[in-house]
Amino acid sequence: AIVMLLEVRLDRLVPQMNNIIDYMLLRTQDPDEGVSLEACEFWLSLAEQSICREALQPHLPRLVPVLVRSMKYNEIDIILLKGDVEEDEMVPDREEDIRPRFHRSRSHHAGNQDPDSDDEDGGDDESSLSDWNLRKCAAAALDVLANVFGVDLLPVLLPILKETLFHAEWEIKESGILALGAIGEGCMGGMVEHLSDLVPFLINCLSDKKALVRSITCWTLSRYSHWVVGQPHDQFLKPLMTELLKRILDTNKQIGRAHV
């Protein structure tokens, strides 16, 4: 109801906006994903309002970590996505594995990139994960907030990326790579100075032992591809193309089907 009011009667919420933001921050972390998903929708809706920058600026140090944590795969997702199955090339294709893919919106926020959809990186072939969920909503929220705040988001996000991208747990590392891709458009101006280090790191991640890490890395690299092709080709493009061609022959079929 609050999210709906935000879209139609913003004037009624403005006097209590700080309290509402505090409440939505708490509920975005609710253990019930139905609750957390509804709360996470709030950030997407708020980003469309003219007051977003002023209202959210003081809350970014708390909001951004919550969104990145929400982007981590949960245990059920990993099981459904066969995230621990690294080789399946000998398993016969199902009909749905080889059917043509057509664009389809996952939610009413159709304008946002969906890194887990068949249309983006081939990372979600299970019908049970094709629906809008907390991970996708949080990634979309970070995407639109990056467009609202631009480089001003980076002082909060960069320390988080430094911690997550090099984390020992692959699920956290994967969520960091997703976050890096999510800000690829809005924060590009501030990310340029870091890409000479990050792109080789991502190219290396294309050969990560975990299939879901390899998959999301394909998508994140696509978000920075225009920068890559603008650099000396021997430096980044050729190593990247070499690894992408290897992924087409990946022993995990969902990586081979990814839109690299």
Q: What percent of the chain stands above pLDDT 90?
A: 69
Least confident of 107-116, 126-135, 229-238: 107-116
Q: Which DSSP helix (H) or strand (E) runs through 42?
A: helix 33-47
Which carries the bigger pLDDT value, residue 114 or residue 226? 226
Which carries the bigger pLDDT value, residue 8 or residue 118? 8
Instruction: Give residue-wise pLDDT tens across range 27-65.
Output: 999 999 999 999 999 999 999 999 999 999 999 999 999
* Distance (Å, whole) CA 88 – CA 224: 29
Residues whose CB falls within 8 Å of the CB of residue 80, separated by 6 or more in sequence, listed in order: 126, 128, 129
Instruction: Give residue-wise pLDDT tens across range 138-157.
Output: 999 999 999 999 999 999 99
For the packed helices 211-223 and 170-182, what is the interaxial angle rounded to 10 degrees? 20
* C-alpha distance across the termini of the chain, in Å: 40
Mean of pLDDT values over 196-224: 94
Beta strands in 44-202 (DSSP E): none
- pLDDT, the chain, mean: 84
Instruction: Give the pLDDT confidence score for residue 86 in this predicted structure.
Output: 57
Q: What is the DSSP letter of 231?
A: S
Nearest in space to 177 (alpha carbons), one of 135, 148, 147, 149: 135
B/e letters for 193-212, b = 16+ CB within 10 Å, e = fewer, are: eebeebbeebbebbebebbb
Instruction: Give the pLDDT confidence score for residue 227 in this predicted structure.
Output: 96
Q: How confident is the model at residue 248 (pLDDT cuts 50, 70, 90)?
A: confident
Q: What percent of the chain stands above pLDDT 70?
A: 78
Residue written as tokens 């995230």? 83
- Our measurement of the distance from residue 251's CA atom to the centroid of its chain's CA atoms, rounded to an integer in Å, reads 24
Instruction: Give the pLDDT confidence score for residue 141 in this predicted structure.
Output: 97
CA angle 145/150/151 to nearest 5° reads 130
Least confident of 91-105, 184-198, 242-256: 91-105
Residue written as tokens 């209590």? 16
Q: How confident is the model at residue 114 (pLDDT cuts 50, 70, 90)?
A: low
- Our measurement of the distance from residue 104's CA atom to the centroid of its chain's CA atoms, rounded to an integer in Å, reads 18
**Following DSSP, what letter does each residue of 187-209 receive, concatenated?**
THHHHHHHHHHHHHHHHHHTT-S
Evaluate if pTM is beyond 0.85.
Answer: no
pLDDT above 50 for 119: no
Q: How confident is the model at residue 89 (pLDDT cuts 50, 70, 90)?
A: low
pLDDT above 50 for 3: yes
* Distance (Å, whole) CA 238 – CA 244: 10
| 248: phi then psi, degrees, rounded to nearest 5 | -60, -30
Instruction: Give the pLDDT confidence score for residue 256 in this predicted structure.
Output: 57
- Our measurement of the distance from residue 256's CA atom to the centroid of its chain's CA atoms, rounded to an integer in Å, reads 20
pLDDT above 60 for 103: no
Q: How confident is the model at residue 115 (pLDDT cuts 50, 70, 90)?
A: low
**Pair of tokens at residue 124:** 């979600």
Residue written as tokens 């790579």? 177
